[in-house]
């Protein structure tokens, strides 16, 4: 889910979604498949990255620009990203 408040966007991901994302990243780093990634590896990365996660992970971004197909944002640590709409 997501919501807008002023010039901020808040995106809430379920733990299952974050776990799938982490599993995919670990697999890519080790040049393997998601099936090769252990639950222990995912749990460790989840605990390291989101130590306060309790059922969901909430990410907050500052909006830089919005177009019909792209959303450019900056996170609380100054990192930026451009999110592209999928058809």
Q: Tell me what pLDDT residue 7 has.
A: 84
Q: Kindly give, in sequence order, each residue whose CB lies less than 8 Å from that of residue 70, ignoring residues fewer than 6 positions away.
A: 82, 83, 84, 85
Distances (CA, A) of 24 to 1, 9, 20, 29: 21, 25, 6, 9
* Sign of the alpha-carbon torsion through 60, 16, 39, 53: positive
pLDDT in tens, 21-33: 999 999 999 999 9
pTM of the model: 0.65
pLDDT in tens, 38-48: 999 999 999 99
* Sign of the alpha-carbon torsion through 46, 66, 74, 3: negative
């Amino acid at each position: 889910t997501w919501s807008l408040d002023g010039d901020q966007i808040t995106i809430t991901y379920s733990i299952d979604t974050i776990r799938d994302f982490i599993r995919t990243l670990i697999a890519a780093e080790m040049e393997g498949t998601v099936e090769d990634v252990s639950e222990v590896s995912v749990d460790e990365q989840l605990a390291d990255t989101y130590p306060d996660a309790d059922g969901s992970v909430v990410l907050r971004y500052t909006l830089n620009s919005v177009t019909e197909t792209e959303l450019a944002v900056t996170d609380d640590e100054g990192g930026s990203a451009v999110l592209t709409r999928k058809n």
